[in-house]
Chains A and B, each alone.
Chain A
Amino acid sequence: MPTDAHGHDPAITRDEVAHLAHLARIDLTEAELDHLAPQLAEILDSIASIREVAADDIPPTSHSVPLTNVFRADEVRPGLSAADALAGAPECEQQRFRVPRILGEEA
């Protein structure tokens, strides 16, 4: 198991970052992996430190602002044209996003 600069196990390994990038279809070069993996590990470490502070009497929270009921009116707003929507697609066909076949499942 590789260790980080401080000599303890990183919260996320370079291999795990490579695997996640693959799942998310993000192409990372070896150099980018070298650069990003330690950064992600550091972020996870920082977040983990919050756990040490949070005592049992502090309820978990999902939002940092005390707002509720933020609604929009039911109105149509202009969106993207099909051409713009598909511009970033690796492949398209019949004005649709073309994706590799999905294995091991039926729907």
Chain B
Amino acid sequence: MTTTTELMPYDEALARFDPVLGLEVHVELNTVSKMFCGCPTEFGAEPNTQVCPTCLGLPGALPVLNGKAVEAAIRIGLALNCSIAEWCRFARKNYFYPDMPKNFQTSQYDEPIAFDGWTEVTVPNEDGDGEPFRVEIERAHMEEDTGKSLHVGGSTGRIHGADYSLLDYNRAGVPLIEIVTKPVEGAGEKAPEVARAYVAQLRDLLLALGVSDVRMEQGSLRCDVNLSLRPDPSAELGTRSETKNVNSLRSVERAVRYEVTRQAARLSAGDKVVQETRHWHEDTGVTTSGRSKEQAEDYRYFPEPDLVPIAPSREWVEELRGTLPEPPREHRARLQAEWEFSELEMRDVVGAGALSSVEQTVAAGASPQLAKKWWLSELARRANETGVEITALPITPEQVAGVQALVDAGRVNDKLARQVFDGVLAGEGSPEEVVAARGLEVVSDDSALGAAVDRAIEANPDIAAKIRDGKQAAAGALIGAVMKEMRGQADAARVRELILERLS
């Protein structure tokens, strides 16, 4: 069955409807052990090697709460300007589904640990400046991740049509924080940018808090995008769709834009928007219908009897408040001033999701401009080519600073530096190791360079004559000849000096 989805051009959709957003972000915490048991949380282990009676839901096993996860939840809540509950409990969310072997997920229901917060994001306006936009936070609550299913058979790889499923419970029980916004109203045509800016800022904030490695491509930060349209801002909220697992910043923006154009076309044609879960397709940039939510699920929530309530003392909360990093907007403003970047330069860095990478590269010793240069040109291009976020490239900010240090020391030039990046990204080791293994170091040894310079002068008598006549600009051609002979591995500045010494 193929049906074409009608879409309305974005500008037309915005002229006729007012979009309202809702964002639900799941963050996997970077604790070394799971939420309720001592199993490790490391990503990528062999299936079912990080499991125990508790996370497998075996009879008689009892959960005990990971204190570090509670601490992280409170710090996240405080960083999002939330109130912290004086007393709250976990609840069982009951469902029969094999991704949770207990037949329930331990979550928080009507007593979240953090609630009623806000955060201010920066959205670009027409003049190219950043404008503040306030996003209200409904709640941040603790829960556990589910296992991973592999659906075997069928044609689509999805559950529908699969013959059977294979379950790996390594991820079951990994601590999760779910952060839910209140309806985000008033974003208008900027709704896609606001959604992206919010998730990008949340990611930077979580990174600064040090509570998660926030790798969207590994699923440690996952975003569900809710969107509804209404005829105008004074009308009641429309029916919303819930697009699941939108797992890159770019996709968050695209998914919002797509749902606006899809829902606008439906509403204009007199159809209703169905309240449903939709799937995001990264490759084609469309959403497709999933499970209908017409019948609200009944999870029969009830307080978890095996875990005692959490009552964070006000002293503890204040102590944790003292550990918070600088708020994102202040942080951004301070870095912009320190780095002497223009608003446009800063926006490029933030928009590329490279703020923390550049910051750490500067901290490791590179100049802000050069740190920005490598991340936004060379590394952004490679991230684009391989379809991953910049932060997911297999290179650390320290290594980037290391490459720049080699350039500063005159040991490699920019061209060779690119080859050093190739090597580091290919897993050949540190910049130093790549230079050694690939023999990339520039030659600045005068005897080797001098011989090449002499040969270049001999081969180009006309150019040499011009330089003798005082036309130093002509030296470029001779430098080029030397570089060619040395396969780009000559110290260009020293070559120039040697040429001018000989021809003055």
Contacts and interface: CB of A to CB of B under 8 A. Distances in A.
Nearest to B148: A96
Given A67-B308, A97-B48, A99-B164, A74 B290 contact: no
Interface string B297-328: 00000111101111110000000000000000
A77 B56 CA distance: 15
Bin the interface of chain A by size.
35 or more
Interface stretch (B65-73, B200-208, B213-221, B443-451): B65-73
A80 interface: yes
Contact of B164 (A62, A98, A106): A98
Nearest to A97: B167
A88 B101 CA distance: 13
For the residues of A in contact with B, the DSSP-based class is loop
Interface in B108-160: 149-153, 158-160
B415 interface: no
A102 B31 contact: no
Contact of A95 (B47, B103, B165): B47
A94 B166 contact: yes
Interface string A48-77: 000000000000001101011111111111
Given A97-B166, A101-B165, A70 B308 contact: yes
B291 interface: yes
B344 interface: no
Contacts of B55: 79
B169 interface: yes
A24 interface: yes
A63 B88 CA distance: 12
Contacts of B291: 105-107
Contacts of B159: 101-102, 105-107
B32 A74 contact: yes
A94 B149 CA distance: 12
B300 to A, nearest CB: 13
B75 to A, nearest CB: 14
Contacts of B151: 101
A65 B306 CA distance: 11
A82 interface: yes
A63 B309 contact: yes
A77 B304 CA distance: 23
